[in-house]
Structure formats: C-alpha cells, structure tokens
Structure 1
Amino acid sequence: MNTLPEPDILYQDDVLMILHKPAGLLVHPSWIAPARTPNLVGWLKQQFPADTFHTLHRLDRATSGVIAFVRNDKQAAQTMHQQFIDRRVHKTYLCVVRGWTDPEGSIDYPLTQEKDHFAEPFASDSKPPQEAVTHYRTLGHVELPIPVGRYPVARYSLVEVKPETGRKHQIRRHMKHLLHPLVGDTKHGEGRHNRLFREHFDLHRLLLMATELRFEHPYELKQVKVSAPPDDEVMALFARLGWPDIEQLRENPDLRC
C-alpha cells in the first residue's frame, strides 16, 4: 500500500511542469524495485493522460524537492537539456550533515562514475574521474547532548548547497569527502548518526532536499525561478533543532551559527 504523500505541482504552462517530489518516490519505474512501485512519471501520466513528459534531470529516490519536466515539446526539451549542459540551470539544495561545517566553501573534487553493477554489469570500470564542483554555505549548527561513539555530544550542520555540475550522488559524495556525510544517507553516510535520528527523532529518510530551480524559459526568454520549502516533517525537525525559519537564516548571517 502506498503511503507516500502526493507530489505537488509548483509551476506549469504549455511546455513546462515543475513538481515537488516526496522523499521515497522514484522518478521513473526501476527494474530493481517491485512491479507497480509508484513513480513520478507514472503519476504524471495518470494526471495528464494526453501529455508526453520529457525528463530534464533526476532526483534520487531518497531525495525530495523541486524537479522539472517538459511536456510534449521535443524542441523545448532539447533547449532545456542544452541549458543543463551549459550549466545555466541553477539548483539549490538543503542538507543536514554530521559535524560543524565551515561558514562557506567550494568543493572541486573530480568523481569517478558510480557504476550500478546490477543495471550495468558490463559497463567499464576504467573511466577517468569527471569534473565535479559544489558550492556550499552553512546556515546553522546544533549540538545535541547525545553521545555517539567516543564523543559525549553529537554535532550537526544545516547546509545550503549549490552544485555547479551534476554528477551522480554529487552532493552526498562531496560532503563525505569533507568528512561531513549527510544524515540519513545509507550509502555514503555513517550508520551511528543515521540511527540517532531514527531513534531520537523518528526520522527515516535522507536529509537532502532540492529547494530551488532557476533557468531561462525555453520560449518566453524570461527567468523562471521555482522554489519550495522542505515538507512538514523536515520543517518540524528543523524547529526542534533550532532552525525554525530557513529564510531568515539565508538572509541574516548573524542568525546562522
């Protein structure tokens, strides 16, 4: 039985459809998921059966947030794909990571291609690392009186992230590279901290949220900016951690740490 919340439509016109994807929802059907597992493209086809949707980018199943599609128009899809290639689409994320991060920084660390050994059993393992650049700034720190390992307290940071490139799991891998893995990341994270959030906050998801997309409309030549806050579950958690107002943290450096 599907208990995931419904996607929200954030923006739509004749050629664009921008949604808020819930955490846990696949973007496309996957052969590694059980048959009839709900997915975002399937939901769109149910809501708009006369339309054909062109995927522009992806979000991991565990990631929530803003995702864009082109509806029906192949030329618009090609134009938008070129914007992604030219790095003219600007994406913003929020994440919670282990430890206290620096106020701001950039991560310029090439990433090897993450091969899916199930889906791509014969793909080459010898491809060189690809350029990968991520910019970040810290919006908040918190120290919890909960021992983890040999430490008497647990420290976490709320981080705003702007990836310049779009490699697979880039934010998750780059923050791990800084020794600040994302909370809830079962592949690149740290189990003790994931367990802390499950046991003390009843949180069973990855704390990575796509909060904004900005790009040029493929026909109207205007800037499109679509944003969405994290869902109610995440915002309730942020309030408990001392981060009740994300916009104030973004706009006022004195409130951040």
Structure 2
Amino acid sequence: MEIAILYQDEQLVAVHKPSGLLVHRSPLSRDRVYLLQTLRDQLGRRLYPVHRLDRATSGVLVFAFDAETAHALNQAFTEQRVEKTYLAIVRGWPEPPEGHIDRPVRDDDREAHREAASDYRRLATATLPVANRRYPTSRYALVGLWPKTGRRHQLRIHMERISYPIIGDTTHGDGEHNRIFREHLGLDRLMLHALSLRLPHPAEPDQILDLRAQPGDQFALALERLGMAEISEIFCGKILEWESASGAKQANHIREGRT
C-alpha cells in the first residue's frame, strides 16, 4: 500500500488517509497494517502524529518530522488556530439547512462531558426510491461540517444529536439506513471525509497552508449513485463561500489530491 502525499516540506507531511486504516497501533486492534508505520516505511523518516482521524474517516491527516514541529502544530490545534472542513452524507434533509451545534460530548475515556461545538450546512439532497420503516422513500443529504472543538467522535455525535446521523456510523448512526446503503448502493463505509485543513505553518506562522483531499473511493461512488457527482464542483464552491463568510484567511498554498 502506498499513501497519497498531499503536501511535504522539511517540517511536515500531509497525506490522504484512506477509510478503514488505523493511524497507529492500538492494544485492542489486531490489524497488521497501520498508516503511521506504512508512511514511515514509504518516506524513510520518523513521524510525529499531531492530530487524529477515526479508522473509518478518510481525508487530510498531518504528521510532523520532528518534535519541535509537532509541538508547534499541537499548540495550533489546541488553541483552535486550525480550520477543519468535513463532508458527510447524512440521513434526512437537515432543517434548518445550516446551523450551529453546541452540545457537550465525552472525550476519549473521560467520565465528564466537555464543551463541543460544530457548524453544519446542507449542500445537496437526494431521495432513493427505497422504503424504510417510516416512509415509502429514503432521503439523504450531503453536508459540510466545521468542528470548532476537537472531541472524539464529535461530528458523529453532534449529527446524531440533531437527528441527522452520518451514514455508515455503526455506533451513533441509524442501522436501517446503513443497511439500505449496503444492500441498495453496495456501500458500507462511514460517509465522513476530512476535506481540508487550514493551519499556520510552524516554521512561518504568517504562511497559511490550505491542505485538501478530494473525496475518493466509496464516498465519491456514493455521490455518483445519489446523483450528486455532477455538482461536486458546486458543493466545493459553497464550502469556500462559507469559509469566506466566516472570515477564513486566504491560503498561500493549496495542495489537492484524490485517491
């Protein structure tokens, strides 16, 4: 397996993480292949993780090449100086079509809930002629998601809390609609993709890196089978408009990739 490189310099590397691949070894996992070790072997360099993506989530993931860079990047994430954009396919058509979710979630193994905030925007809708337990057809939407905090499973929990769970989520999702995707579309992954990261470069804080990974594999196939493939350019444009309206900084470097 070769990991797709989105951006690389002397301080860091950004990659397109595929869905289904663990980032690093876990005591509870029996996986033999991990992204961290695979990328180390591919680049021949030591890597320092600075943030996380769930096994089932695809998209942009950044590693540092040294401890100093890792510390600077960790600080940027902690201080919320990193802008994250995700795409998700959810059950239903979110109403209102855009909004802010401010609900605490449990982070990692902590017993106490912690503050968590996310923004969402409905980008496109589709209807499948497949009956579910409540309706004769099934509705789905493509949404843009902007987490303002970095809690574990935050976006998955937040979308479930407002009754629009992400398709393919076996923990916080809707089993019936996951089954519809498997049986009628032939798709069984979590429909959550980390589209972009905007962050200050640790060596040059005034330089903003805009790192992007266009949806690939089953996510792109889902868009096609839901009749959304032709508007991919449109929804990416809407995301950019949202970021501009939110006061996002102009990026100095843009790197795009697809796997």
Name the TM-score, length of structure 2 as normaliser. 0.87
Task: Output one character per residue of 1:93-114: Cα deviation in whole Å (capped at 9) or x when no partner.
Answer: 0001111113211101111335
Quick one: distance in 1 between partners of 2:103 and 2:35? 31
Cα separation, partners in 2 of 1:53 and 1:114, compared to 1, 3 Å:
closer
In 1, Cα distance between the equivalents of 2:152 and 2:53? 10
Question: What SS class does the counterpart of residue 42 from structure 1 fall into?
Answer: helix
CA distance in 1 between partners of 2:18 and 2:234 (Å)? 24
Gap runs ≥5 in structure 1: 116-123
| Match runs of 1:22-61 below 5 Å | 22-34=18-30, 37-49=32-44, 51-61=45-55
Check the 8 A contact 1:6/1:22 in 2, yes or no.
no
1:248 alignment partner in structure 2? 234
**AA of the residue aligned to 2:221:** A
**Among residues 74, 82, 92, which one is paired with 1:81 in the alignment?**
74
Moved over 4 A (4+): none
Matched, 1:97 2:90: yes
Change in Cα spacing, 1:178 to 1:55, as seen in structure 2 (3 Å) is: same
Gaps of 5+ in 2: 240-259
Q: Distance in 2 between matches of 1:226 and 1:112?
A: 28
Question: Structure 2 counterpart of 1:241, which letter?
Answer: L
Q: 2:14 aligns with which of 8, 14, 18?
A: 18
Name the Cα RMSD after superposition: 1.5
Distance 1:217 1:252, change over 3 A: closer
- In 2, the alpha carbon distance for the partners of 1:114 and 1:44 equals 25
Residue 251 of structure 1 deviates from its aligned partner by 2.7
Is 1:139–1:250's contact at 8 Å kept on the other side of the alignment?
Answer: no
Corresponding position of 1:184: 168
Return the letter of the residue paired with 2:9.
Answer: D
Q: After superposition, give the CA deviation of every residue in 1:218-251 in whole Å (9 maximum; x if it has no partner).
A: 1123110010111143212202212113231243
State percent identity of aligned pairs. 44
Cα displacement string for residues 187-228 of structure 1 (whole angstroms, at most 9, x for unaligned residues) = 000110000000011101100000101001011231100101
Q: CA deviation at 1:10?
A: 0.4
**What count of residue pairs does the alignment treat as equivalent?**
236
TM value normalised by structure 1: 0.88
Deviation of 1:252 after TM superposition, in Å, equals: 5.6
- For the structure 1 residues 210 and 149, does the alpha-carbon distance in structure 2 shift closer, same or farther, using more than 3 Å as the test? same
1:109 to 103, 112, 115: 103
